[in-house]
Chains A and B, each alone.
Chain A
Amino acid sequence: EPEVTQTPSHQVTQMGQEVILRCVPISNHLYFYWYRQILGQKVEFLVSFYNNEISEKSEIFDDQFSVERPDGSNFTLKIRSTKLEDSAMYFCASSGQGWGNQPQHFGDGTRLSIL
């Protein structure tokens, strides 16, 4: 069964450094998302992306965050200058449709640890 792939599985970075989290969505999907989950807390929406542009972003997704689909397969999340509070599990998700009964399929996540 096709799946969403995220790399790396774990990233350790010094505070203030830039980090890029990578995702390969399911190949025929058109809708892409990033979520994060701080340890022990609920999953929070960051940004949705369709047709090469951001559809919606949350308050968390400030100027330090950006997303890109540099080619036909990858979908990346960049954090420009990381803070301690950025430590979390980051999930990429994709969907064949932005509404209706098609679920968002999640990758296994990247655990980001900021030192």
Chain B
Amino acid sequence: AQKITQTQPGMFVQEKEAVTLDCTYDTSDQSYGLFWYKQPSSGEMIFLIYQGSYDEQNATEGRYSLNFQKARKSANLVISASQLGDSAMYFCAMREGGAGANSKLTFGKGITLSVRP
């Protein structure tokens, strides 16, 4: 089974509107973390936001927020007030294991977001 699933085809959003990018995950660990990264066409990987499995509040970071539904094993990224510079590939990733682990990130296939002016 895929550990991280991102199934949306390319997403389009009008500038200044909000958009939700879906991510579901699969793990048997109790302690894990979920990350979102942005990859613009230039290729670099930019960290956006983190949600821990024990965090009771949904993470927020500026225009980014994470809709974390633990029972459904979903961690959707919400981008509010989209900007043209948000056009990029977005990857959801998971790190399993608690304190003391040196855990790799497992990535989903990514979602392409295009913001229309």
A106 / chain B contacts, CB cutoff of 8 Å: 37, 44-47
Is A105 within 8 A of B47, CB to CB? yes
Question: Which residue of B is nearest A107, CB measured?
Answer: B44
> In the complex, which range does the number of interface residues on chain B fall in?
20 to 34
Query: In this assembly, does B10 line the interface, its C-beta being within 8 Å of a C-beta of chain A?
Result: no
Is A33 within 8 A of B99, CB to CB? no
User: Looking at the complex, which one of B37, B102, B106, B107 makes contact with A55 (CB distance below 8 Å)?
Assistant: B102
A68 / chain B contacts, CB cutoff of 8 Å: none
CB proximity of A104 to chain B, nearest CB, Å: 6
Question: Which residue of A is nearest B50, CB measured?
Answer: A101
Is B33 within 8 A of A48, CB to CB? no
User: Looking at the complex, which one of B44, B100, B110 makes contact with A42 (CB distance below 8 Å)?
Assistant: B110
Question: Which residue of A is nearest B42, CB measured?
Answer: A108
A31 to B100 CA separation, bound complex (whole angstroms):
12
Chain B 43-55 per-residue mask, 1 if CB under 8 angstroms from chain A, else 0: 1111100101000
What would be 21 A-B contacts, judged by CB atoms less than 8 Å apart? A33-B105, A35-B105, A42-B91, A42-B108, A45-B105, A45-B106, A48-B103, A48-B104, A55-B102, A56-B102, A91-B45, A99-B97, A99-B98, A100-B52, A101-B52, A103-B47, A103-B50, A106-B47, A108-B43, A109-B45, A111-B43
